[in-house]
Amino acid sequence: MRYGSTRGGVSDLSFCDAVMMGLASDGGLLVPADIPDIREQLPEMASLGYTEIANRVMGCFIDDIPAADLEALIEKSYATFDDERVTPLVPVGDMQIMELFHGPTLAFKDVALQFLGNVFEYVLARDGGQLNILGATSGDTGSAAIAGVRGKENINIFIMFPDGRTSPLQERQMTTVLDDNVQNIAIEGSFDDCQSILKGVFADLEFKDRYQLGAVNSVNWARVLAQVVYYFAAWVQLGSPKAFQVAVPTGNFGNIFAGYIARRMGLPIDKLILATNENDILHRFFTTGRYERGSVHFTYSPAMDIQVSSNFERYLYYQFGQDASRVTGFMNEFLVHGSATVNFNTVNFDDAFATGCVSDEETLNTIVATYEATGYLLDPHTAVGVHVAASRRNPELPLVCMATAHPAKFDDVIRKGLPDTDITHPALEVLKDLPARKTQLPNDQDAVKAFIADHND
């Protein structure tokens, strides 16, 4: 399998080359040349466990890591999870919740970043060199990325997060990691500011090459690929139905884009139910065809407080028939004017998505109502998905709602509606008394570059 950029300036990369490049050097995102259709393999997959499914699915996209080595990387990555199913389904009322938070940092990002960290280590050991990872996080990506590479040789990691805009526990999951190869950077601004800095730094190709920069955000194809696996695992745990629906809370379009890839591979997903909070750029696009940046709203579901969804460009690439020039034109228009439009009357977009957006009040009400009816506690992001699914689902089909984080990571929000509920997790309780370290920097690309340089020269 070969990889190229959504904007046409990079082509014919291997999987490992794509992983190490992260963000394409032409400013686009790296995508596989083809999406294989594996529906004929589904009957065989119906009896497999998680790591076996992962080997089947990832093996379709990776041909430059020997099969035995890939199997070992996958086994190592998911040995850190506390459930043998890795991403278990739990029945809650008339739906199934897929718990994606059984990894080391209690968030769905672990599924991808445990794997990515091990791939980085494998490639560096095989090919030599050093890697400086630059990441931006609205909450969970940072701690999961740090957990994936802390203490690993020849890797440094620099994580930017919006100062004061993650939950206190999310920040402590990052800043209490004091390994020498870990640096946390609190940026004065929003997550979109952090993401803009990241893209700007990667666009400076001389700087990127000098400091061997790599990416852990979902701009890195390996993250999307690792997340494709649990959609197949959901189907298997459901009993391999002829069709099912999946509700996904999303801000950066990475998690749900993985579901879109699984659907194109032949997994019988009827609808992907896309759920956003008040930062509803994706809902507005699928409703009107207009992709328009707005002001960032800070909500009870902070990991989704995003107005520019990075992985959306990958989706456009496939919807535009893999026409890189058309993607480039759309994204340039968005960059210059803050908006760009697709005419659904002239562009035949597929019908993969149903969408909705949710207010903070609706989020909290969903948490309370679900708990009172079933005894199951949702985190705010998962509640967004559950709320939208209630009105957008087909009641004749099984429904899976992706649970993206353990509720204890957002105990301050949940207690607004359930003040007497015990919301804890041992892994989080130990963080409260640990020393922490972070560096505060202005919303300035040059300041971040200087910080990276200072920690390498």
Question: Could you tell me the CATH number of the domain that includes residue 102?
Answer: 3.40.50.1100
Coil, strand or helix at 183: strand
Tokens standing for residue 194 = 């952090």
Domain that holds residue 354: 89-106+222-424
- Nearest residue to 404 (alpha-carbon basis) of 289, 265, 302: 302
Encoded amino acid at 50, one letter = Y
Q: Does residue 343 belong to any structural domain of this protein?
A: yes
Q: Does residue 100 belong to any structural domain of this protein?
A: yes
Q: Does residue 248 belong to any structural domain of this protein?
A: yes
The confidence score (pLDDT) of residue 377 equals 97
The confidence score (pLDDT) of residue 218 equals 83
| DSSP label at residue 107 | B
Please work out, in degrees rounded to the nearest 5, the angle formed at the alpha carbon of residue 219 by the alpha carbons of 25 and 107: 155
Q: Does residue 308 belong to any structural domain of this protein?
A: yes
Rounded to whole angstroms, the Cα distance separating 362 from 56 reads: 39
Half-sphere exposure of 124 (CA within 13 A, CB side): 22
Per-residue pLDDT of the chain (457 residues; tens, 9 = 90+): 999 999 999 999 999 999 999 889 999 999 999 999 999 999 999 999 999 999 999 999 999 999 999 999 999 999 999 999 999 999 999 999 999 999 999 999 999 999 999 999 999 999 999 999 999 987 788 999 999 999 998 999 999 999 988 888 889 999 999 999 999 999 999 888 998 999 899 989 999 999 999 988 888 999 999 999 999 999 999 999 999 999 999 988 999 999 999 999 999 999 999 999 999 999 999 999 999 998 889 899 988 988 888 899 999 999 999 999 999 999 999 999 999 999 888 777 889 999 999 999 999 999 999 999 999 999 999 999 999 999 999 999 999 999 999 999 999 999 999 999 988 899 898 998 899 999 999 999 999 999 999 999 7
Q: Does residue 329 belong to any structural domain of this protein?
A: yes
Rounded to whole angstroms, the Cα distance separating 215 from 221 reads: 10
Rounded to whole angstroms, the Cα distance separating 203 from 132 reads: 15
Catalytic residues: 109
The confidence score (pLDDT) of residue 152 equals 92
Q: Does residue 122 belong to any structural domain of this protein?
A: no
The confidence score (pLDDT) of residue 4 equals 98
Q: Does residue 28 belong to any structural domain of this protein?
A: no
Rounded to whole angstroms, the Cα distance separating 434 from 395 reads: 47
Q: Does residue 316 belong to any structural domain of this protein?
A: yes
Q: Is the dihedral of CA 227, 154, 3, 355 positive or negative?
A: positive
| Cβ pair 322, 272 in contact under 8 A | no
The confidence score (pLDDT) of residue 399 equals 98
Number of domains in the chain: 1
